[in-house]
Amino acid sequence: MKLIFEKSVTGRKGLKFPALDVPATAQLPKACLRQDDARLPEVSELDVVRHFTQLSQRNFSVDANFYPLGSCTMKYNPKFTEKVAAMPGFADLHPLLPQLKGGEKYTQGALEVLYESERWLCEITGMKAMTMQPLAGAHGELTGIMLMAAYHKAKGNTHKKYVIIPDSAHGTNPASAAVAGYEIISVPSDKKGVIDLAKLKAVVNEETAGLMMTCPDTHGVFNGQIDEVSKLIHSVDGIMYYDGANLNAILGRCRPGDVGFDVVHLNLHKTFATPHGGGGPGSGPVGVGERLEKFLPISRVIRRSDGMYALNYDYPDSIGYIASFYGAFGVILKAYAYMLLLGCEGLKQTTDHAVLNANYLLHRLKGHYQVAFDRICMHECLFSASRQLERGVHAIDIAKFLIDQNIHPPTVYFPLTVKEAIMVEPTETESKETLDTFAEAMIRADELSKTDPHAFHALPKTMPISRPDETKAAREVKVNFFAQSV
Ligand SMILES: *Cc1c(COP(=O)(O)O)cnc(C)c1O
């Protein structure tokens, strides 16, 4: 496909300006005037429309294709919530308004959304209070670990040095704990895919600041020993941190607060109606139990005794601001609309379908691919391409095969604990027919690995480029046409 600059023809126009109704020569200082004409493509309106429409169709999107990227929850989200977020009463509000004297009265709706979202998410997670400020999952993790550190500092726990993290954790977990100033101890998983309790016991001591855990973890399995883990960590005054990025596995069925967690972060842009990925806006609210509440970031939205909502900054122990204003308000608004739309029962069904769909795929593909952990899974199922590897076909080759079938590849080579990992998260929004189409494509890939393993090396065949350098394609991108052509 050509660049729009390559489609440019001198003199071609797509726009006719109206006649000027002001003097044509404005009096500007010479230094402010442009020296050369702007380099713009000269194209017709139709050229532009076709160019960008075709470009948009190159996108692999959840609106067009199945997107079973494990640990990312690339589910279809209702367009209704987008509509709500675009309502002018919300979208046009100036973020400074509620902070101005008298401005609160014009922002009651927005403040109520923040207040109610916090309340509902606290109910869902079993937490006491929540900050809606963090702008992504990883940002929420950092906030949560800073709250952990504030707790230890206030208690005079100066000997706390380590945060314990299972080896199956998402990479952001150790990164966040390290950025917050802790050293990391990684604990291996046992044969069932959950943290090895004996090995955990061996490393927990007075220097343990806390434990970060994902449940279900990125092996896609539930940890039935959480109570024991919580007791152990609490016995040394450690903090239990819950990575709730994948909450759609337990939504409405299990509350982290009820099984001993002290801090929880959520990814509204996975579970609550904003798509993950593509660099779009995110939101990673952080909920806490009683012990950590006073350290939460400011400002906080309160409901006054006269029923009015207001911002409150009067928290002397707060860790301060973690983001400007009130977080990603549009994303929070979508989550609010989504919770209203589904209601309590609907949210529970979300989880049930997510888990059912993953187990269906696990069952259908079991005979063809090695399963990482042979047990009932939660919202995602984990395979290994180890059998295919014996025939010279890697997980990445299967991923490339799927691209030609119009299916976005699942997550491959993560978690790091499983060789040739293929991690599939079908999500609750997919139908049985779509799951069958995917399963059949995976089975065809397995068959091809038996009959013609070399065929994989030329895949994908349907894309503008086939096999970019996996590292350089992300690190050395050249996107500036002029920089290249000069
Ligand atoms: C996605 C994810 C994160 C990080 O969330 P971001 O919004 O991408 O920063 C953390 N933990 C787990 C388990 C995740 O799946």
- Using the mean position of ligand 1's atoms as its centre, give its distance from the Cα of residue 337 in Å: 22
Atom of ligand 1 nearest to the CA of 71: 15
157 plus 293 within the same structural domain: yes
358 plus 437 within the same structural domain: yes
102 plus 220 within the same structural domain: yes
- Using the mean position of ligand 1's atoms as its centre, give its distance from the Cα of residue 356 in Å: 22
Ligand 1 pocket, residue 136 CB under 6 Å: yes
Atom of ligand 1 nearest to the CA of 172: 10
Given this model, what pLDDT does residue 189 score? 92
218 plus 333 within the same structural domain: yes
Ligand 1 pocket, residue 267 CB under 6 Å: yes
- Using the mean position of ligand 1's atoms as its centre, give its distance from the Cα of residue 170 in Å: 7
Give mean pLDDT, residues 72-85: 92
For residue 390, how far is the Cα from the chain centroid? 34
46 plus 180 within the same structural domain: no
* Inside any domain, residue 12: yes
Q: Distances from the Cα of 269 to the Cαs of 35, 57, 336, 361, in angstroms? A: 45, 23, 12, 24
pLDDT in tens, 122-179: 999 999 999 999 999 999 999 999 999 999 999 999 999 999 999 989 999 999 999 9
Residue 486 — pLDDT band, cuts 50, 70, 90?
A: very low
249 plus 389 within the same structural domain: no
86 plus 159 within the same structural domain: yes
Which position has the token pair 């493509």? 41
- The answer to whether the bond into 410 is cis (omega within 30° of 0) is no
Atom of ligand 1 nearest to the CA of 218: 13
Q: Give the residue from 320, 340, 360 where a domain finishes.
A: 340
Q: Give the residue from 310, 340, 370 where a domain finishes.
A: 340
- Rounded to 5 degrees, φ, ψ at 440 are -65, -35
Long-range CB contacts for residues 6-11, cutoff 8 Å, separation at least 24: 7/41, 7/43, 7/47, 7/51, 8/41, 8/42, 8/43, 9/42, 9/43, 10/42, 11/42
Q: Mind giving me the DSSP string for 175-212?
A: HHHHHTT-EEEEE-B-TTSSB-HHHHHHH-STTEEEEE
327 plus 356 within the same structural domain: no
* Inside any domain, residue 442: yes
Mean pLDDT taken over the chain: 93
Which position has the token pair 């709706």? 109
pLDDT in tens, 81-109: 999 999 999 999 999 998 888 888 999 99
Give mean pLDDT, residues 462-483: 82
* Inside any domain, residue 118: yes
Which three-class secondary structure state does DSSP give residue 384? strand
- Rounded to 5 degrees, φ, ψ at 188 are -70, 165
* Inside any domain, residue 65: no
* Inside any domain, residue 179: yes
Model pTM score? 0.90
Given this model, what pLDDT does residue 85 score? 95
Ligand 1 pocket, residue 282 CB under 6 Å: yes
Q: Distances from the Cα of 393 to the Cαs of 253, 256, 390, 450, in angstroms? A: 39, 40, 7, 9
Ligand 1 pocket, residue 174 CB under 6 Å: no
Residue 17 — pLDDT band, cuts 50, 70, 90?
A: confident
42 plus 164 within the same structural domain: no
Asked whether residue 485 carries a pLDDT value surpassing 60, the answer given is no
- Using the mean position of ligand 1's atoms as its centre, give its distance from the Cα of residue 57 in Å: 27
Give mean pLDDT, residues 308-337: 95
159 plus 266 within the same structural domain: yes
Structural domain containing residue 122: 82-340
Q: Which residue is closest in CA terms to ligand 1's atom 6?
A: 137
pLDDT in tens, 205-243: 999 999 999 988 888 898 889 999 999 999 999 999 999
CATH code for the domain in which residue 251 is found: 3.40.640.10
Ligand 1 pocket test: pick from 139, 170, 263, 417 the residue with the most ligand atoms within 8 Å of its Cβ: 170
Ligand 1 pocket, residue 245 CB under 6 Å: yes
**Based on the structure, what is the number of domains in the chain?**
3
247 plus 163 within the same structural domain: yes
Given this model, what pLDDT does residue 478 score? 76
363 plus 458 within the same structural domain: yes
Q: pLDDT above 90 covers what percent of the chain?
A: 79
Query: What is the spatial distance between Cα 466 and Cα 456, in angstroms, rounded to a whole number?
Result: 11
